[in-house]
Amino acid sequence: MTKTWFITGATGGLATPMIEQLLQRGDRVAATIRKPGALDHWKQQYGDQLWIAHMDLTQPEQVKDVVERAFAEMGTIDVVVNNAAYGLYGAVEEAADEQIEHLFQTNVLGSLRVARAALPFLRQQGGGQIVQISSMAGHYSTPGMGLYCASKWAIEAAIEALALEVAPFNIRTMMVEPGGIRTNFITSNAVFGERTELYRDLEAGQFVSLMKGELPGFDNDTFNRMVVGDPQKMAQTIIQQVDEDQMPLRLPLGSDAYDYIRKALTDRLEALEVQKELAFSTNADDVIRQM
């Protein structure tokens, strides 16, 4: 049975291989883009099977209008995929306020705007699916990636609650948590804070140098071969999971995602256990224990 998909950020990340595979199997796709003409080659090949609209996630009214037009013109949308996002790298102190605000406007508020705009239509049609492309970075944070990680932590918290809230309406939700992917995410979509000498030789600065390809012996080809994630395999897996009757709430993709997420959760749990006695010691003396 064919499906109709609404996918943001259609020219980057996992969206490109997903759309290609979906069109090839006969599904319909409503794709949003930032650059006019970016999907013309597919439009010529697939015609009405592909619906295209320009959308800027930082513009609330535009997001609402595009989502409404997509449902109106496509009739039914079975799956809403929030893919659009980008990375902001550098020490937290090095980023400008405007950079931080735009990051959260896109990665967090933009995804929420799309989901919130789609929910009334999904309820009206009796259900649907929401797929949020997140990251393994939604579970940990590291020097040089703090702000990007923060955006992923934030969207995961909101979507986890949303998933529980909309489940009674037959709307299923899944967060995809890929590790490194062999796409243009870093080389084309990365934004960097203003580098300072304070952090240049520290872990945050070294991370930025790696991302920019400035470390000796690390050209783009070498860096790409260090990335484990195959975008075609990941796209295929996401589609397969959506086709299943029960999607998982979280879907880690890539061996690095599994390893990093497992370590982050294990480390946090171990640190929590050390604090158990101290945490309990701050209870009120007359607290009523919940059964």
DSSP helix/strand/coil, 148: helix
Q: How far apart are CA 45 and CA 266, in angstroms?
A: 48
> Catalytic: which of 89, 111, 135, 152?
152
148-155 own/partner pairs: CB under 8 Å, 24+ apart: 148/87, 148/88, 148/89, 148/103, 148/107, 151/85, 151/88, 151/103, 151/104, 151/107, 151/108, 152/107, 154/104, 154/107, 154/108, 155/107, 155/108, 155/111, 155/112
Q: Which two tokens stand for residue 89?
A: 């790298």
Q: Which two tokens stand for residue 241?
A: 């999971």
Residues 45, 118 contacting (CB under 8 angstroms): no
> Catalytic: which of 3, 86, 134, 151?
134
> Catalytic: which of 86, 89, 148, 199?
148
Residue 148 known to be catalytic: yes
DSSP designation for 202 = S
What is the maximum alpha-carbon separation in the chain? 71
Residue 152 known to be catalytic: yes
Q: How far apart are CA 119 and CA 71, in angstroms?
A: 11
DSSP helix/strand/coil, 60: helix
Catalytic residues: 134, 148, 152
